[in-house]
Structure 1
């Protein structure tokens, strides 16, 4: 241990006190030993340190900070150097605000486009997500503070996220859901990692010794701190055994008592507690060094300019019929759409940033050089239909040469805590587009959203520019792309299906009751579409430019692949070359191709550059469930260089020697996986893949409700009071949506409806303890008077104890 001398001076009570928060955002301090509190703050794309009352939901405003593009946006840049620079600036701002641990980035896989938090995650591909996140973390930690990568692991849905059991086979777990975390832990040495809310194969992730000890600590040699997601602790002692040092937020000392009792009774060795304390002290002391000579301010304008640069490199040009873009100077342009007046530039929930400045499209039009003839709102932001707004927009469009139509998803459609209902744009926006098309077909749509949308309307726009959620400087970045000041170079970090029903997990998402089954296995995103030959609207890695590129002269050896790229157009531009690898053997089921490297190269007109993408330890590997380790299959491998996953420009073949492992599967028992057509995997076949029985995914309505059941399950409660409370919650949600208070309605779903009962104690900062919760559960389960008496009695005891401690 690094801090044995300090730990030896601590009492058991002091050690236990360090294992949970002091308040909502700070760790506990021990003044007599010089141990200070450290501050943790949300910050996937900007610092969210609240000046007033703290909350985890983004309700109260935070201190102004640069709102950079979100991870879903940054991933489209495929630029690791730029990601690192953004991380450096995030770290610098964290120091100014005295934040020790920045809670981000998030690197969960985009298993399904409905997942409500996709805007916070990088990609459907673990290699791209891991590499981009790793560069950002290196930047953040270069400033002396800690990043906190999240959410570990397989947190693929928001609905019932605090109690859902994720059922996934070991190979899929390793290859898809853990690879990005492995890259981050090994390459960027992240100092902090956040466990997810969900269970993984029957055990809460922060208590899961296979995940936390076998893989994270022993296999990856991670020696940093694991912190729970806020309110994400179930059994504190079990979490401690697994190596989960820090529980957040505070429980007012309640779980400290659990730890003390466990040590005294021999349930857990004090040495285990000491190891957890040691790692937390290391994080404390290392990050505190960053504040010895703290900066009092940062260059707001310089950081704003970087936010603009990141946005510019992340914007994706998806369609440019008749070369309508860049806009010609003499063209009369009508600007239509609510998002031009008030940008949709970031997500919602715990990642909301209070920007240092926020650029506005309408205010920037004059300086952009666009010949703007006027603006019309066109539609209501939150979906209410208005023919009057459509008519006014059409009247303006009639006099224009080109229509710039700003459309997208609103803040309450994509939000933490709940999943999307569909992947469509709101109907009122589609109605507007249809009407405009009849008046003026020269439409350029500017799309703002943090995740995939269906586009049955794609034929009614000649241009499509996707800005994703481009941060506080996104408005100017988009205008610079539209005018040609910037040549777009972003490429999609996720596939865009033609229809939601085409997505691989749509039969298995979300889990509605006890569990969610990942029956699609390794076939998510382009791994599925390419293998099963399913057509998509826009493939993974796709993006257009105002210039053209030619690929040539591929050479492959055991070290990597080398090739040339030439800018064959008339403009300077950047191309993202992508390395895909596919095995030509069918002995082990594999995707047709997998991303194994990429390189973004900048070229002047007529310029040629030679690019080398080296192979690494992940290029040819697969996880073998028989040997329980990574293996290499001996085979010929196709080496592909593509402009996207569907646009392979160059290919070659390389023979690779194998590791001699036994075959992990019997081919005849897994026909869906060997064909890649995994839309209707049977229970029997999934159990064969899992090598165990699948647990019942339905609630057992005969049992009394307990700590880990959700408030939503009160609909089945024996207690009439609980059933009435459930109906009241449902009515409140319906009524708030009806009167347009959708943000508040969402809050009910996130913080009440899907909250497990234990959250009442874990998320209230000590206002309620577990004994009081026992009384509430008595009420829920039909013992109203006994339960009410118990709650009041325990409340009196808690207040008496608190008064005695003071």
Structure 2
């Protein structure tokens, strides 16, 4: 028995039943209890995946914000994902966090999935490779990961109750595949089980998938934590392999688990196994006395700003570039257009949210990069058709009072959102004595006109602006089935005030504190929301058109909003919000040299794509997105990304059902999602899986297959250095209706200067030739003839070779 396991057994032997049961239950929102009697410190978890928020959900505690997971996957670079993980481990250690609640490796089953920006890809192999790089990087820094959400948590509608009906073959070949790859290749220290049910059993009680598959077949030796509030039944959860029920203090474990053992419903040996796994995790992250941590010396420090900028530009996908529109020519005038160019959207909504110390917008980045006098800016069209959390122009603080009206604590609030979870309260404040929280301060408008103010949250509120009380009532939930609506729901407009640009006014939003019904942990959450005066859309578009007409190049930034892509709901369509499509059409008609930057975390429809010179997908590009955009637009760096998921019109998308019927959501498409389904149905997407252009050209010269190794020679046939993502697809020579026509089997990135040749070496995994045989309940190696198809995307295949296996 090794040192770690020996220390775990010694510690376990000192614990009584009550201590064991207490260790398996969150003591608050983010941590497990310390057990000083065995030298165990409190284990702290935190949300990711693009940054480490820590235990405080506030902009007062800033974090590095990397690009979205879709962006990271668009780099097709597991080593870059590893470097991102190393940075996040550094951030976790800085914030006293031991375990990162990431990465999300669910698949893009349907483009309507509202949380797809937080997952990687529609392809299980690409997802597994990027996820393994991320996990290995985080854990190389001595911080644990929890790969999530296990499994088939691929949409948000009714996510707490939906029963996803998935065939065993689709489970194995698609949805379990990324988890299996990561367990085998990166050895994660944790897995998070999902809210949803799979084939009749809720995932926090799924003995077969957790105990038999994850732990039995795959030899996973880490801990299994519930998604927050997912655990429902004490006995079924612990028998089903759930180790930790989060969050606390009200969970199905703790006292309830100890009672179940004493009542003879659960064997204490079962509890011991769960405790062993938690102690093993504690040993690995260095908080169990007598056990050497898995990492004794952290990696060299990483510059977070530089890495965020590098990932962003490596992730940007240039899907169209006609007449050499990009890179921009030197000393030409540029008309920058779009609300998102000024007020950048750098990350998606929900639990993935972090608060960077600064954000470089596209306007900031291009202003710094272009010569003085060559850049103009107009709003054009605002995608924000709803209120957003108060931010620009607000100076706010929180004042906490008891029932007698006495001030018991204060805290600065960098924006209008309060989300105090667990023990994260201002000094001197406890939940027991807290009666009201007042958000108070000033707002200095940047535009004159009618400003709309609103409230996000549930309960009694009083809203005043410039000395006038506009609302004093109880705001009720609109969806009683979602206990997290107070956190992720839409703000409700409650006031409109005529204000003058540059003239500060007093604002106040007072909330009477009460714990939300159905939320099993203590949280103070609400927000002051705001919307600027809404100018006539036609006037804004006309101004943008005039600006575009006067410039050599028009650069239009279009975007989604937090009410389009966020945790908690799925998308209704793939359209850009507001009048942004009209804006692009009008600008393109005025200036043939129009470049569009698409600032979204997942696919949107681009009905004007053939009318503009260039289209660049920036995803949610993180805090340095504007600087990275300037790097790419000016040609200092080329856009390095390739599509990790298919982009197309919703009307053509093969899989669109995300809403359960009578509580069930059948995955009737089987193994045909993403490009597999587009090819099977014969439909043509806007941009295919794997597509992406650089600033040079590549010639594919040869492919040589020796055993399980393919060597592909490519030549940079363009005029500047570049990077290419060489993609290898496997296609059976005798297609059958129950298998995709081809699938991604490997990829590699190469770099070369003009005229240079280089080799990409790709190993063909055995699994690429296997299918799950439901008759034998095992993997079956399918012998026969296969064509190795190598190229730049699923549809742009340049060279082939035939192998027989």
Question: What's the CA shift for 1:100?
Answer: 0.4
| Counterpart residue number, 2:633 | 482
Secondary structure of 1:619's match?
A: helix
Name the one with the larger helix percent.
Answer: 1
Secondary structure of 1:486's match?
A: coil
| Counterpart residue number, 2:777 | 628
The alignment status of 1:442 with 2:447, answered yes or no, reads no
| Counterpart residue number, 1:502 | 652
The alignment status of 1:45 with 2:194, answered yes or no, reads no
| Counterpart residue number, 1:788 | none
State which of 25, 32, 41 in structure 2 corresponds to 1:27.
32
Secondary structure of 1:536's match?
A: coil
Question: What's the CA shift for 1:427?
Answer: 3.8
Structure 1 pair 530/649, CA: closer, same or farther in 2 (3 Å)?
Answer: same
Question: What's the CA shift for 1:397?
Answer: 1.5
State which of 674, 685, 696 in structure 2 corresponds to 1:536.
685
Q: Is the 8 A contact 1:556 1:562 kept in 2?
A: yes
Q: Is the 8 A contact 1:563 1:610 kept in 2?
A: yes
Q: Is the 8 A contact 2:140 2:298 kept in 1?
A: no
**1:67-122 Cα shifts (integer Å, max 9, x gaps):** 01111101010111111111101111111111000011101000011111000000
Tell me, in whole angstroms, the C-alpha distance in 2 between the residues paired with 1:73 and 1:512.
Answer: 33
Tell me, in whole angstroms, the C-alpha distance in 1 between the residues paired with 2:160 and 2:735.
Answer: 39
Tell me, in whole angstroms, the C-alpha distance in 1 between the residues paired with 2:55 and 2:705.
Answer: 53
Tell me, in whole angstroms, the C-alpha distance in 2 between the residues paired with 1:444 and 1:587.
Answer: 42
| Counterpart residue number, 2:359 | 358
| Counterpart residue number, 1:10 | 15
Q: Is the 8 A contact 2:381 2:580 kept in 1?
A: yes
| Counterpart residue number, 1:682 | none
Question: What's the CA shift for 1:435?
Answer: 2.1
Q: Is the 8 A contact 1:160 1:512 kept in 2?
A: no
Secondary structure of 1:139's match?
A: helix
Tell me, in whole angstroms, the C-alpha distance in 2 between the residues paired with 1:218 and 1:192.
Answer: 15
The alignment status of 1:268 with 2:419, answered yes or no, reads no
Deviates more, 1:524-533 or 1:123-132: 524-533
| Counterpart residue number, 2:795 | 646
**1:210-239 Cα shifts (integer Å, max 9, x gaps):** 110111010000010000000111112211
Secondary structure of 1:496's match?
A: coil
State which of 74, 90, 93 in structure 2 corresponds to 1:92.
90
Question: What's the CA shift for 1:256?
Answer: 2.2
| Counterpart residue number, 1:424 | 575
Secondary structure of 1:634's match?
A: coil
| Counterpart residue number, 1:407 | 558
Secondary structure of 2:141's match?
A: coil
TM-score, normalisation: structure 1: 0.78
State which of 587, 594, 597 in structure 1 corresponds to 2:743.
594
Q: Is the 8 A contact 1:62 1:353 kept in 2?
A: no
| Counterpart residue number, 1:783 | none
| Counterpart residue number, 2:312 | 311
Question: What's the CA shift for 1:299?
Answer: 6.2
**1:301-322 Cα shifts (integer Å, max 9, x gaps):** x210011011111111011111
Q: Is the 8 A contact 1:557 1:654 kept in 2?
A: no
The residue correspondences of 1:306-705 to structure 2 (distance < 5 A) are: 306-369=307-370, 372-383=374-385, 386-497=537-648, 499-506=649-656, 508-586=657-735, 589-656=738-805
Name the one with the larger strand percent.
Answer: 2
| Counterpart residue number, 1:105 | 103
Q: Is the 8 A contact 2:554 2:595 kept in 1?
A: yes
Question: What's the CA shift for 1:496?
Answer: 0.9
**1:644-677 Cα shifts (integer Å, max 9, x gaps):** 0001111111111xxxxxxxxxxxxxxxxxxxxx
Q: Is the 8 A contact 2:52 2:64 kept in 1?
A: yes
Tell me, in whole angstroms, the C-alpha distance in 2 between the residues paired with 1:149 and 1:615.
Answer: 25
Structure 1 runs of 4+ aligned residues shifted over 4 Å read: 289-300
Question: What's the CA shift for 1:601?
Answer: 0.5
Question: What's the CA shift for 1:612?
Answer: 1.6
Question: What's the CA shift for 1:485?
Answer: 0.6
Q: Is the 8 A contact 1:50 1:61 kept in 2?
A: no
| Counterpart residue number, 1:794 | none
Question: What's the CA shift for 1:554?
Answer: 1.4
Secondary structure of 2:253's match?
A: helix
Q: Is the 8 A contact 1:332 1:401 kept in 2?
A: yes
Tell me, in whole angstroms, the C-alpha distance in 2 between the residues paired with 1:293 and 1:82.
Answer: 20
**1:565-612 Cα shifts (integer Å, max 9, x gaps):** 100000100100111112223467210011111001111101101222
Tell me, in whole angstroms, the C-alpha distance in 2 between the residues paired with 1:217 and 1:293.
Answer: 24
Question: What's the CA shift for 1:194?
Answer: 0.5
Deviates more, 1:248-257 or 1:261-270: 248-257
Alignment coverage as a number of residue pairs = 646
List gaps (5 residues or longer) in structure 2: 386-533
